[in-house]
Chain A
Amino acid sequence: MPARRKNPHKLAIGEDLTIYHAAAQKQQFIDALAAAPEQLDIDLSGVAEIDTAGFQLLMLVKREARRLGKEARIVAHGEAVRELIEFYNVAADFGDPLLIPAHDA
């Protein structure tokens, strides 16, 4: 794991990552990424529900970060997010530490 860079920019999403908020959230992500000097820490612990539109946003922000030479990391997530990331089989691509619940392990 790379050493944590200094003063990571933080973004916490408080509402569900679904198509209903997708437009607003996209802007939120892009703005946060633009504002972050090197690293964006995304806190998804408040996200109870995520759908494919929300998932696309995560993909977008990851890819956009790479394009800009920055790093976007999901630092906290709920059960729903973990499940979706695993289902879509992008955990390795995202490279974020996923918290696997004890009963699953």
Chain B
Amino acid sequence: MTTTTPTLPAGAQATGKTSTAAGRVRKRLNSRTATLASIVIAVLWTIPTFGLLVSSFRPENQIKTTGWWTFFGDPQFTLENYQEVLFGRSSSSGQLASYFINSLAITIPSVLFPLAFASLAAYALAWINFRGRDWVYIAIFALQIVPLQMALVPLLKFFSTGVSLGGVPLMPAWDLVDEQKFAQVWFAHTCFALPFAVFLLHNFISQLPKDLMEAARVDGATHPKIFRTIVLPLITPAIAAFGIFQFLWVWNDLLVALIFAGGGNETAPLTVRLAEMAGSRGNEWQRLTAGAFVSIVVPLVVFLSLQRYFVRGLLAGSVKG
């Protein structure tokens, strides 16, 4: 009795073991193909950027005559491409340092203005009671669908000739020259960003606890005070999310800059200059590779360091709606 009783559980255990073992083998095979497939995709996605990065550090004659993969057999390293493309004075060299400053000068205000105006508007739409509130919100929400192409021609005309109604001038032309044209770009980017910004920030602000707001109201806090002392600190993640969005969007934008900033090195951002170089000097790879990286570095650093907020904003904006 005592010798037979353990056989049953032992047998059961054995079969159980073989099934889990088989399961494990199958699972391991599956996970191995899964790993392999994911590595293939990851390599496919990374290698174009990697090739460009490697090339940007190779001497000009090497880039133009041999593939970047030969670098590992015959490594020759130089920073001359970056030196040339950033600081070179000849008109063909890129002068990207100058355009880099333009990109910064365009981007910073173009992030701050919509952020401030949109959070004010979103607060009003979420927590101030007034007639027609829902309609204003729906109207701003609906404006998200207007492609910015719909606004380009008249907005450019607005800057260049001003506004007049039936021959009566209501507003003069802006008449901006050189670096003053930054203001046009800030204005355009701010307008185009507002619908999405209001929508995203409203999502966050309207979800703040109602009790908190009512308690503050009962204590006699005015709306500006509540906005400054309670709402702003609580929505920092949302502000960060939109800030990153807008930063990447403006820094990487080509169309708006092309139209409102002009093409010279007084105002045009990196994207405009690079697109131009890719067209007119499409085979000057020593400049294009280094130049592309100059433009990529800043958004990449911002993106990698603040990825968490970016993903949160992405999910809030697209899935939760």
A and B held together in a complex: no
- Chain A residues with CB under 8 Å of chain B are none
